[in-house]
Amino acid sequence: MIKVFLIDDSIEFIDSAKRFLEVEGLEVIGYSYSGKEGIERVESLKPDLVFVDIVMPEINGFDVVRAIKCMKEIPKIVILTLYDNPEYRKVGEELEVDGFISKSEFATSIKPLIEALFSKEVLRRERVKNILIVDDSKTFRKMVISVLSKLGDIQFEEAESGLYALETLALKAIDLIILDLNMPDMHGLDVLRFLRSSEIYRDLPIVVLTTRGDEAMRKKALEEGANIYLTKPFNPSELIENVKRLLESKGGGSSG
């Protein structure tokens, strides 16, 4: 897996960038809000790729790049900026950086940039898939995990509520969600609405798994963005088949 380090004095941007990078299958091994600390941590952590903001207190991004270029093991370096102007690009070219991204285009630029910087062989080394099970019943969560463990190289995260699920998503790269509807703090439909309104999670595969078997609720959940709607008690083979298909297709259209 490609290891990434971020250097930027904006907490908000780093939080957002981490999520976009993890969605693309990259591992964010660290970040720093200052250039000086960033230089030290890059030298110790030895990432494959470093993103460096230009405008930072104490030391600017170009000086950070110069320091990294003097290291024994030099990672690929991409410049980040709010202002994409010719002067910045000229300095970046002189320093022989590997890329230049405007922050406003970060989300759409990441995938083509990574494909351009790294070989197909490296990109094929996919990380283990993470599935988030959201249900207020611990027993049921364990049951689902036991069934889906048959898929092989899968890791699982658990959330007993909708709010905790959203917190987990902010911290972990999740590839698919198994979502209950009737939960104490936040209804599953509200979780669906929130995720589908977000650019980051708009295409995240979601399987609703609920006791609600009525057609009206099924229709509503699919309209709100569920990819699959299954009812409890569930058919293990059916769940495995649907989850496997969604993981392979990275989330297709809604179906039942």
Residue 161: give its domain's CATH number: 3.40.50.2300
Instruction: Using the 3D structure, point to which of 123, 144, 176 is the last residue of a domain.
Output: 123
In terms of domains, do 114 and 183 share one? no
Greatest alpha-carbon span in the chain? 65
Q: What is the pLDDT of residue 43?
A: 95
Provide the pLDDT confidence category of residue 195 given band limits of 50, 70 and 90.
very high
Token pair recorded at residue 240: 């495995």
Q: What is the pLDDT of residue 250?
A: 61
pLDDT tens per residue, range 141-159: 999 999 999 888 788 999 9
In terms of domains, do 84 and 146 share one? no
In terms of domains, do 104 and 140 share one? no
Q: How wide is the angle at C-alpha 93 spanned by C-alphas 92 and 95, nearest 5°? A: 65
3-state helix, strand, coil split of the chain in percent (to 5) is: 45, 20, 35
For 52-77, what is the mean pLDDT?
A: 94
In terms of domains, do 111 and 42 share one? yes
In terms of domains, do 218 and 113 share one? no
pTM for this predicted structure: 0.55
Evaluate whether residue 254 is within a structural domain: no
Residue 233: asked if its preceding bond is cis (omega within 30°), the reply is yes
Say yes or no to pLDDT of 120 above 60.
no
Q: What is the four-CA torsion angle of 140, 144, 147, 150, rounded to 10 degrees?
A: -150
In terms of domains, do 156 and 139 share one? yes
How many domains does one find in the chain? 2
Q: Are the C-beta atoms of 81 and 55 separated by less than 8 Å? A: yes
Token pair recorded at residue 176: 């698919």
Instruction: Using the 3D structure, point to which of 65, 92, 123 is the last residue of a domain.
Output: 123
Instruction: Using the 3D structure, point to which of 123, 142, 176 is the last residue of a domain.
Output: 123
* Least confident among 32-46, 115-129, 175-189, 209-223: 115-129
Could you list the residue range(s) of the whole structural domain that residue 27 is in?
3-123
For 48-62, what is the mean pLDDT?
A: 93
